[in-house]
Structure 1
Amino acid sequence: MPTLFDPVEMGAIKLPNRILMAPLTRGRATKDAVPTPLMADYYAQRATAGLIISEATGISREGLGWPYAPGLWSDAQVEGWKPVVEAVHRAGGRIVAQLWHMGRLVHDNVSGMRNISASATQAPDYAHTYEGKQAYPTAYGATLADIERIVGDYSAAARNAVAAGFDGVQIHGANGYLIDQFMRDGTNLRDDDYGGAIANRLRFMRDVVMAVQAEAGVQRTAIRFSPNGDVQGCNDSDNFALFTAAAIELEKLGVPWLELREPGPHSTFRATDEAPVSPAIRKVFSGKLVLNSDYDGTSAQAKLDDGIADAISFGRPFLANPDLVERIRQDAPLNEWHVKTFYSQGPEGYTDYPRLEEQEAA
């Protein structure tokens, strides 16, 4: 079986190792969702990852509800991403853009627009806005014209990602955002061709994947799911059946790799008692499978040894350890992350985490 440090090909992208940097929202762009020079430093520091999956990046103003998160719908945003991607490439890395529409989890304090979802529902808890925590407004249910328009937004964002120089794209289909809202029967209450049976609830996801593939290429288009448990009020009556069916559709579409965020009962972020769906997906999906959530070097290697995963993505450990690959290789201690700077602006808790050699020299 391969080790975490062996190369792997995921579609058209050749990775030098199987330790991926998971998408991590950090809030360092401008209010116009334009990437900043500081972001180039941050991503370049982490270029030894086998692949960097960018922070979630809005496909439209309507779909972006997180303060200071980046986008990919304007020329200015494309120009802002170019030096970020170039910095990663100069450092020997690879980076894909994660395309994001938050659906009902958008607040108009951030977007200036009404939020939209598969159906007229309201998300639980509170939105993170420029003016603090606020309750989510009730979303309006998308019309067929809205669906066509949003699929077009995904297509344009993928085209912009290619223009910015990204090595590929990952569609954000996880964590209770718009694609997830269409897929799960707890949030999709529609009775048309996009609702009801599993095949219908997967239609929007299929539309988006095909539209993105047409722009970025089949071998450079992937997707992320969070198939077990309730996520931000988004759940399904039969996650096993739903996500296994989704994996079968991805197989038909030729998707080269799929990332699954699968927390367990002891996970530090959105723990769940639901059994993982990845073993069932492994049986029907021949592409590369990337698992995520609370892994360390030992548990990550165990998933490769079991044949369930081809690679593992690490989130918060990469946030605090730009040299995470080398730390895992040496079984060295990790820096602790600082929650208070997760979404703050500026370099503190962003580009100032020390590398191992800096700590050893101190």
Structure 2
Amino acid sequence: MGFWSKLFRKRKHQENGPEDWENPVYDRDDVDFGQEEERSRYISNCLEQMGEATKEIGLLTGEYSLITSYLTDMEEIEALPETEREGLNSIAGRVVALEQESKRYRGRKNRMKDADYYRLREHEGEIAEGIAKLKECEEYGGKVKQDLRRLDRERHAYEYRREELNVLMDNLRGMTLIFVTAFILCMLMLVILQFVFHMDTRIGYLLAVAAVALAVTVTWVKYTDDDRELHQVEIAVNKLILLQNKVKIRYVNNRNLTDYLYMKYGTDSAEALNRLWKQYQREKDERREFAEAEGKAEYYRRQLLNKLSGYRIATPHRWIGQAAALLDRREMVEMRHELISRRQALRKQMDYNHNVADTARKEIMDVAAKYPAYAPEIMEMVARYEDSAY
């Protein structure tokens, strides 16, 4: 009876939708939670996703706090009393005027744009690291894309084979019905020949039984082999899905980090930033020749720094290169817009990782709820993960 129920069991056909490289997919249909190895692997994978997302959130939080402090400084400056703001603007005006005077010395062809120069000067201490990080991100992003494409091809190949096996097994079930039906009809004919026409049909009975036994045996062997292969294919598909989830999270985090670094350094590639960095270093050497003119500007920059330090400004040094924004509200608005855009980009990354961690946790809780017999074991794995995380 076990063979016949297995033979006529309906297989679930899974349809392939458009591939999603961003959001992890949880597919438990082919996971046998009664098997400790499969159950542990599934829960461990969810915990790894939580850990990776939590780690990424920790890395993003510092940069997010820094940008928030910049925005808070802007609000503090704009809230200054009119008399204080006039004094601040007076010093900032002198800084801007002297910087404009220095521009005449730097008014040669093939000079860097001031926006590029001051942006790189603002990040001067981290540009070399930023170039290396961008190169690493670009190279890693290419490798991760290749991995995702390879995993896609492997998974689609397995899914295609699964559909083939389902069709073959459907055909074998149909063939079995044909064999059984033909056997029944043959036996009816032999009975009629024996009892109506009084013919000796013993050999016919033996041949009919032997034929149907041979046919059913061959069908059963083929069906069993296909079913065994189908089980292995389903395990392979499940493993690929779990692996894709890990790679997807890395792909999205790497892509978001790359986009953020592009935005931060105002570039579109590590190579372009490297060329700009070399140009900046040459420009910096040339500008040393104008130290006398810059010396006057530096005096007022120190005054501006001292003035800003007297207020509740967390990063007064940052405004030395942004003195014009203190005088021109439009530039202040543009600065705010850039900082808000950068903070939104960080928030998007943080929200994505929060969602990954929450989704993984909900998946674990849902598995524990649906399989209460294994809930203590699952919760113990969660507790060990949380203890190790802290």
Structure 2 length as normaliser, TM-score?
A: 0.22
Which has more helix, going by share of residues?
2
More strand by share: 1
Larger Rg: 2
Under a length normalisation based on structure 1, what TM-score does the superposition of the two structures give? 0.23
Which structure has more RCO (C-alpha within 8 Å, separation ≥ 6)?
2
